[in-house]
Structure 1
Amino acid sequence: MSLHKDLPPLLALRAFEAVARHLSFIKAANELSVTQSALSHQVQKLEQHLGKSLFVRRTRAIDLTEDGQHYYDEIRPALHAIAAATRKQQAPCTTTVLRIGLLASFATLWLAPRLAGFISRYPQIQVELRPAIQLADVAGDEVDLAIRYGKGDWPDVQATCLMREKISPVCSPEFKASRLDNGPLLMATSHRPFEWTDWSHHYQVDIEHNPRILLHDYNIVVEAAVAGQGIAMGRHRLIERRLKDGSLVEAFDWPPYQSQIGYWLIAPNGPTSAATTCFSQWLQELCADA
C-alpha cells in the first residue's frame, strides 16, 4: 500500500510537533526560525488535511484537543525514530566559521539577541561577530560580511538595505525636566554625523550652539543618555526597550523622523560562499519581519 496519500505535509507535521511540545506558537516559531503567522498557517494546513481541530486557541494560551493529544502521542515516537535514522546516515559535520564585521551597538542591542534562530537553523555555521567602528574590509577578506549603519554609499562593495531607521532626540526623564535647554548632544564618534545633520535640517532646528560630547560607540551614547548626561539621537530599532521601560523619553515634541539612514548588509563583489548566502538570506528575512 502506498504511504503517499496518507502522509500529511511534512512541514506541517514538524510545525504541529513543535507547537504541541511547547504549547506556544511563540516558542515554537523561535525554535524553527519562522514567523508565527507562517507556523500558524502550517498547523492550519495539517488540521485541514485531517479534517479536525488539533488545538483549543484561547486569548493567552493554547491546549491540545483530545484528538490533538492522541495524534501527538502517536506521531512523536515515529518522528524521533526518523531523526535517529537520519543522524546515523549523515556524514560527519564540518563547521564553517562566518566572520561578520559590525558596530558593537548593533551587535549588542539588536543582532545578538536574535542569533539563536540562525544557529538553530544552521548549526554547522559558527558565527563570529567582529565589532569595529570602521567599516571592515569585505573586499580584502578581513571579514566575510559586514553590517553597517548609514546611507549605503560605500564604494567597491555590494550594499543591500536591511531596514531603515527612525530617529529622534531622546534623554532621561530627569534631564528633560530640568536641563533640556542648550543641553549637550551625545554623539558616537564618526566622521559623518549625518543623524543630527539630517534631523536638524528636517525640523529647521539650530544645534550649532549646543555643546557636544563625543563617545566611542553608540552603546556608550545610550548609557550616557540614560544616566542623564545629555541628549542622544535615538535610533528607535536599537533603543526600543529603553523607550518602553521609560528610562529614555522623547526630548522634544516633534514626531520621530523616518530617515534615509538605515542598516545595510555589505558583501564583496563577486561570488560568495554557501555560509555567506545562508546568513544573508536569514538576516534579510528577519529584517523584513522587524
Structure 2
Amino acid sequence: MSTLRNLVPSTHSLFVFEAAARTLSFKSAARELNVTQPSVSHSIKMFEKHCGLALFVRDNRGVQLTEAGRQLYEEVRTSFRRLEQRLEAISDRGTKYITFAASTSLAAHWLAPQLYHFQQEHPDVKIKVVATDRDIEPDHEVDVTVWVRPRDFDRANTWFVCNEVVFPVCSPAYLLSHPTLTSVDDLLQHQLIHSSDAFRKRLGWAEWMELAGGNSTEIRTNIVFNDYQLTFQAAIAGEGISLGWSLTAQHLLRNRLLVRPLPIEIKTDRAFFLLVSEDPVKNKRSKLLVDWFLAKTAELRS
C-alpha cells in the first residue's frame, strides 16, 4: 500500500498547495478552488503541521515558497501534469490518433516522407506511427497496419495494396562509379548488401538469384544487417546493391534516391495488404487514411 496517504493530511490538501504555490496567493487559490481564503490558509497550516516544516513565508506583500515548499511544488506540479496527460490519453477527452503500425523500412522510407501530404489535406486528423519488427494485429491500440501475405489472403477490413515484387536497387552515384550490369550474374562482381530479419520472412539474395536464373553459389555475404531499413540506408549511402520491394522502395525510386541497375524483377506469390481494426469507431476514423494510402499506391496496382 502506498505511504502517500500517511504523508499528507488529504488529497485535497495537495490541490490546495499546488494552487497556492503556483499563484503565490492564497486569495487566488481560493478563487480558483471556489472556497474561502481562510479555508485555504487553514488547509496550508494543517499541511505544514503534518509535514513538520514551513512551506510558505508569509509577509505583508503576500506569500513566498520556502526552499522545502519550492522542492515539493516542483514534484507536485510534474506529477499532476503527468497524471493529467495520462488521464486525457485514456479518456474520451484525450487527443484521438490514428495509430499506424509499420516495419521500420515502411515507416522511415514511405510513411515519414509522405504523411505531411495527408496532414495538409486533413489537418484535423492526427497520426501516430509505430515502427515494429514484427506483424501486429489491429486492435484497441493499433488502427492500421501492413502485412505481407499470400496473394489469396482474405479477411474482413483488409485491402490489397500491391503484389510483392523484388528487384535490385542502388544509389545513382554507385551506379555511375561501378561497372554497368547487363545480366544477373554481373551482380556477383558488386558489393551486395544483405538483411536478415528475425520476425519477417524476406527473400534473400541467394533465393532471388536462383529465381532470376543466376548463380547463387558465389554470393559473398560481407555485409548483413538485422533490419531491412538499414540495407536501404547503406544502399542510399552508395555502399552497394540491396534488394528492393515494390512498396517500401516506391518513394525512394520516385525521387531517385535509389535506382534499379537491372530491369529484372521477381514477382513472388505474396502481396502487401492494408489491415484495419474491426472496431467500427476506429474504422470510421481510419477510412481517410486508408483511402489516401491506396491512392498513393495506385501505380503499383496498375
* Class of the TM-score when normalised by the shorter of the 2 chains: 0.5 to 0.7
Higher Cα Rg, which structure: 2
> Does the aligned pair in 2 maintain the 1:95–1:124 contact within 8 Å?
no
- 2:234 alignment counterpart: 224
Distance of 1:234 and 1:285 partners within structure 2: 21
CA displacement, residues 61-84 of structure 1 (integer Å, 9 cap, x when unaligned): xxxxxxxxxxxxxxxxxxxxxxxx
Shift, 1:109, TM fit: 1.8
Q: 215-224 vs 124-133, which deviates more?
A: 215-224
> Does the aligned pair in 2 maintain the 1:185–1:231 contact within 8 Å?
yes
- 2:224 alignment counterpart: 214
Call closer, same or farther: CA 1:272–1:207 in 2, change over 3 Å.
farther
Call closer, same or farther: CA 1:156–1:133 in 2, change over 3 Å.
farther
Distance of 2:275 and 2:125 partners within structure 1: 19
- 1:186 alignment counterpart: 194
Call closer, same or farther: CA 1:159–1:188 in 2, change over 3 Å.
farther
- 1:131 alignment counterpart: 131
> Does the aligned pair in 1 maintain the 2:194–2:204 contact within 8 Å?
no
Call closer, same or farther: CA 1:152–1:258 in 2, change over 3 Å.
closer
TM-score (norm 1): 0.53
Distance of 1:248 and 1:119 partners within structure 2: 26
Call closer, same or farther: CA 1:284–1:251 in 2, change over 3 Å.
closer
Call closer, same or farther: CA 1:176–1:134 in 2, change over 3 Å.
farther
- 1:169 alignment counterpart: 168
Letter in structure 2 aligned against 1:187: S
- 1:38 alignment counterpart: none
The correspondence for 2:289, drawn from 279, 282, 287, is 279
Letter in structure 2 aligned against 1:168: F
Question: Secondary structure of the residue that 1:194 maps to in structure 2?
Answer: coil
Distance of 1:209 and 1:279 partners within structure 2: 45
Distance of 1:182 and 1:272 partners within structure 2: 51
Question: Secondary structure of the residue that 1:189 maps to in structure 2?
Answer: coil
Distance of 2:142 and 2:152 partners within structure 1: 19
Distance of 1:221 and 1:94 partners within structure 2: 38
- 1:266 alignment counterpart: 275
Distance of 2:299 and 2:253 partners within structure 1: 20
Shift, 1:99, TM fit: 0.8
Shift, 1:162, TM fit: 1.4
Distance of 1:120 and 1:276 partners within structure 2: 16
CA RMSD, 1 decimal: 3.8
Letter in structure 2 aligned against 1:255: I
Shift, 1:242, TM fit: 5.6
> Does the aligned pair in 1 maintain the 2:166–2:266 contact within 8 Å?
yes
Shift, 1:268, TM fit: 3.5
Distance of 2:99 and 2:119 partners within structure 1: 14
Unaligned runs of 5+ in 2: 1-92, 181-185
Call closer, same or farther: CA 1:232–1:289 in 2, change over 3 Å.
closer
Identical aligned residues as a percent:
19
- 1:143 alignment counterpart: 142
- 1:99 alignment counterpart: 99
Q: 236-245 vs 215-224, which deviates more?
A: 236-245
Distance of 1:149 and 1:216 partners within structure 2: 18
Question: Secondary structure of the residue that 2:297 maps to in structure 1?
Answer: helix
Shift, 1:127, TM fit: 0.3
Shift, 1:186, TM fit: 1.8
- 2:266 alignment counterpart: 257
2:212 matched to 1:203?
Answer: yes
CA displacement, residues 204-247 of structure 1 (integer Å, 9 cap, x when unaligned): 23424423333133331022224444431023554457657876
Question: Secondary structure of the residue that 2:113 maps to in structure 1?
Answer: helix
- 1:118 alignment counterpart: 118
> Does the aligned pair in 2 maintain the 1:183–1:210 contact within 8 Å?
no
CA displacement, residues 70-114 of structure 1 (integer Å, 9 cap, x when unaligned): xxxxxxxxxxxxxxxxxxxxxxx9842111100122122222332
2:240 matched to 1:234?
Answer: no
Q: How many pairs were matched up? A: 196
Call closer, same or farther: CA 1:94–1:281 in 2, change over 3 Å.
farther
Question: Secondary structure of the residue that 1:108 maps to in structure 2?
Answer: helix
